Amino acid sequence: MTLDETKQKVFAAIQSLLEEDKGVVVVGETKLIGDGRVMTSLKLVELCLELEDLATEIGFVFDWTSEAAMSKSRSMFRTAGALAEEFYSQMVANP
């Protein structure tokens, strides 16, 4: 799976959890934590579980529990794009 395909899958997973807010279009800059975020913390956990399942289907373990995960400045959850890039990075590092 390419980075672009990974972004499409991650963005689609986010979008599916935001169905009640149909005005949001998920793009790379969509904030997942901090001011202006589009998801509640519960929805963020649901997203992580969905990504764990996707990673299992692909054949790797997605680790979303790192020490820096919830840091506003360096977290993989800053934006949808950052999350997709981290997912892709973990995927290619653990073939």
**The pLDDT value given to residue 60:** 93
d(CA 91, CA 59): 8
- Phi-psi domain of 23 (left: phi exceeds 0; alpha: psi -120 through 50; beta: other): alpha
pLDDT tens-digit map of 47-93 = 999 999 999 999 999 988 876 555 556 789 999 999 999 999 999 99
Q: Is the Cβ–Cβ distance between 55 and 94 less than 8 Å?
A: no
- Domain range spanning residue 37? 3-93
Q: How many Cβ atoms from other residues are within 10 Å of residue 31's Cβ?
A: 15
How many folded domains does the chain comprise? 1
Q: What is the b/e burial string over 54-82, where b = at least 16 CB atoms within 10 angstroms of the residue's CB?
A: bbeeeebebebeeeeeeeeeebbbbbbbb
What tokens does 70 get?
A: 């919830």
CATH number at residue 39: 1.10.1200
**The pLDDT value given to residue 75:** 85
Helix, strand, or coil (residue 74): coil
**The pLDDT value given to residue 69:** 58
